[in-house]
Chains A and B, each alone.
Chain A
Amino acid sequence: MGSPECEKRDTASAYLLGSLPAFEAYAFEQHLAGCAHCQRDMRELSAAVDMLGGAVPTVPAPPELGERIRGIVRAEANLLHAAGPEADRPVRAPRARERTRWRLVRPRILVAGTLAVGVLCGVAIGSSLLGGTSVHTRAISAEILQPGVSQDASATLRITGESATLSVKDLPRPPAGRVYEVWRVVGANKLPTDALFSVNSQGDGTVAVPGSLRGVRQILVTAEPQGGSPVPTRSPIIAASTET
C-alpha cells in the first residue's frame, strides 16, 4: 500500500479525511485525475475512512426528525406525481381569463406571489364537475396580513367537501433560507402540515391543504426555515377562515 512513486501520496489521506482546505482539495483533485498511483491509494484507503463514519456510538434519531423528513418527502412526492413529467418545467403565469377555470383548483403543490395588502373579501359559491358528479366548491378570499408589498397579491382558499386548495397570486418568494408552510388551526392550536411551498417566477400557484378540514377553523401560511417547522416561528402572512 502507499505510492512511493508519487510525492503527493500523503495528501490522499488528508483529502479522504476532509482535512484539506478547499483550494488544496481542488488542486489535489486536478492531480488525482492524472495520477494512477494516487487513484489506487484513494481506492484502498477510502474503505478505512468509510468505516470511520460507522464507528461512533449509536444515538437514536429522534422520532420527530423522521416525521418531519418523511412529511417533506411525501409532500414533494405528491407534487412530482401531481405534476407528472412537467414537474421540473417552469410554470407559465396563467392569464386572467384562465384563473377562474377549474384546472387551477387541482392539487398541485406550487405557489407564488407577492405580499400585499388584502382583506377578507367574501365568499363565492361555485360548482365544478368532478368525475361526472356535481361538487360545490366554496372560494374564500384569504386575508393577506403583511401590507405594503404589492397591491396585486391575493390568496384564495377553495373548499370542496372536506378538502381544500390554496391559490396565491403575486406573492413574493419566501425570504432566503425559508419556505412557505401551511397551517391548520383547530381551536387555539396551529397544527403544522407537510404542505411546504415556494414561489415560481410568475408569482402564481396552488397548494393542496393536506388532511380533512373537519374541525379546522382557519388556514394560515407562514415563512418557515427550509424543511418546515413544527411550530410557527413567524407571524402569518396569509389567513383564510373556513367558517365564513
Chain B
Amino acid sequence: MVQMARGDADAFDLIYERHADAAFSLAYRISGSRVAAEEVAQDAFLALWRNGSRYEPSRGSVRNWILGIVHNRAIDALRRAVRHESRRAGDEGLAERLVAPDRTDLEVGRREEAGEVRGLLAELPSDQRRVIELAYFAGFTHTQIAEMLTIPVGTVKGRMRLGLEKLRSRIDMSSVMT
C-alpha cells in the first residue's frame, strides 16, 4: 500500500490481483448487473489508487478497506438508480453461470471463507438476518425496511444490533475452533 500510494503502478497491480474478484463479487451482489458492477469496481479501485495514502492499517485490512469502498459506492449507485425491482441476482448458481478463473489455493481459501460467513449468516434468526441483508446488500434505509416489514423503526435497528452481535460472537467462536 505504501508503494502504491507513492505512485507505483506495479504495487497497484498486485493489490488488484488479490482483491479484484472479491470487489467485483460484492459490487455484483449489490447492483445485480455486470455493467453496474464493473463501473462500481472501477470507481472503487481508482479511488484506491488515487487516495491510497489515506489508508490506515490500524483501522483494518486492505481487503476490508477496499470492500468498504465498494459497498459505499455500490449502495450510492443503487440509491441513485432507485431501481429495487429486477436487479437482484440470486446467490445460488451465480458463480456457476460465469466462467470460473483458475482456482488457486488462495482463491479456494477465500471461497471457503465466504461460504463459512454465509453459513454463519444463515444461522441467524431469520428476522435478524433479513434486516441485515436488506440494509447491507440491498441498500434500503432502516425507514424503508420498517415500512416494508411493517414493524417499527426501533425494532429494525434492534434486530440489526442483535444480529450483528450474534454474527460477531460466532465469528469469534469460529476463529477459536479453527
Contacts and interface: CB of A to CB of B under 8 A. Distances in A.
Interface string B58-69: 001001100110
Nearest to A3: B161
Given A20-B142, A61-B20, A77-B7, A45 B165 contact: yes
A51 B21 contact: no
B42 A65 contact: yes
Interface in A63-115: 65-66, 68-70, 72-74, 76-77, 80-81
B156 to A, nearest CB: 8
B3 to A, nearest CB: 11
B132 A17 contact: yes
Contact of B168 (A1, A65, A74, A80): A1
A14 B136 contact: no
Given A48-B168, A49-B136, A61-B24, A21 B141 contact: yes
Nearest to B165: A1
A192 B151 CA distance: 53
Contacts, number: 172
Nearest to B24: A61
Contacts of A66: 16, 20
B70 interface: yes
Interface in B34-86: 34, 37-38, 41-43, 45-46, 49-50, 60, 63-64, 67-68, 70-72, 75
B110 A54 contact: yes
A52 B136 contact: yes
B118 to A, nearest CB: 5
A147 interface: no
B113 interface: yes
Nearest to B172: A47
Given A2-B161, A73-B46, A53 B135 contact: no
A50 interface: yes
Interface string A21-63: 1000000000000000000000011111111111111111110
A11 interface: yes
Contacts of B113: 54
Contacts of A13: 157, 160-161, 163-164
A14 B160 contact: yes
The winner among B26, B157, B168 for most chain A CB atoms within 10 A is B157
B168 A47 contact: yes
Contacts of B99: 60
A59 B163 CA distance: 26
Contacts of A70: 9, 12-13, 16
B64 A45 contact: no
A56 B68 CA distance: 14
Contacts of A54: 22, 26, 63, 67, 110, 113-114, 117
Nearest to B138: A19
Contact of A10 (B46, B117, B161, B168): B161
A56 B136 CA distance: 12
A126 interface: no
Given A13-B161, A19-B140, A61-B21, A74 B167 contact: no
Contacts of A1: 165, 168-169
Given A18-B136, A51-B167, A51-B171, 15 more contacts: A10-B158, A17-B164, A18-B135, A46-B60, A52-B137, A53-B70, A54-B63, A54-B114, A58-B22, A58-B107, A59-B25, A60-B101, A61-B21, A70-B12, A227-B43
19 contacts: A10-B161, A13-B163, A17-B164, A18-B136, A19-B136, A19-B140, A21-B143, A45-B161, A48-B164, A51-B171, A52-B121, A55-B117, A56-B25, A57-B91, A59-B29, A65-B41, A70-B13, A81-B7, A227-B42
Closest 10 CB pairs of A and B: A53-B67, A61-B24, A10-B157, A19-B135, A55-B117, A77-B9, A17-B135, A13-B161, A56-B29, A13-B160
